[in-house]
Amino acid sequence: MDPSLYPGGYRWRPHQVHGGDGGGRRTRRFGSRRRSGTVARTGYPPGYPGDRESVFRRSQVVREVDVRTFAAAHADGALVIDVRESFEYAAGHVPGARLVPLGALPGAARDLPRDRPVYVICASGNRSLTAAGRLSQMGFDARSVAGGTAGWTQSGLPVVRGTHENAA
């Protein structure tokens, strides 16, 4: 068997990889870190979602607060939005929390005030972190509640049931 043949019958040709084609022209080196219109460090075109520099510029630091800090702010009348689905909200939510499912957040953001912090809560803190990140990118002072409604309930704080903000 010819040693220059790879499985599938592909023939390795050194001039295709290393640049010397014998005709005086230089071909591009295979595996070059620098290509026209790309970022040398990542190999992605500028602005491409995988470009680390662009991702870093777009990222926002999201503030996350614990349940005790949130409870103090809630007692002072903080604005709270719950980003769970309606059936989760109806099963039990923080008194006064406004229901804004995560999928409806961009449209509902128009009605939120920008002059005060917005506390975002969900069941465990994962969706609220995502929502707080989106709100931060829109210019809001958003804070995610770590532990979510589960942490609120485990702390012995009151939960209301129903679809209204202050349902009984």
Q: Which residues pair with 79 in a beta bridge?
A: 118
122 flagged as catalytic: yes
Q: Which of 62, 67, 99, 122 is catalytic?
A: 122
Q: Which residues contact 137 (CB under 8 A, 6 or more apart)?
A: 58, 60
Q: Which DSSP string do the residues of 71-115 spell out, in sequence order?
A: HHHHHTT-EEEE-S-HHHHHH-B-TTPEE--GGGHHHHGGGS-SS
Joined together, the tokens standing for residue 55 give 């991702």
Nearest to 31 by CA among 101, 136, 40: 40
> Side chain identity at 81, as an amino acid letter?
I
Give Cα 119 to chain centroid, integer Å.
Answer: 17
- Look at strands 118-121 and 142-145 and give their pairing: parallel
Catalytic residues: 122
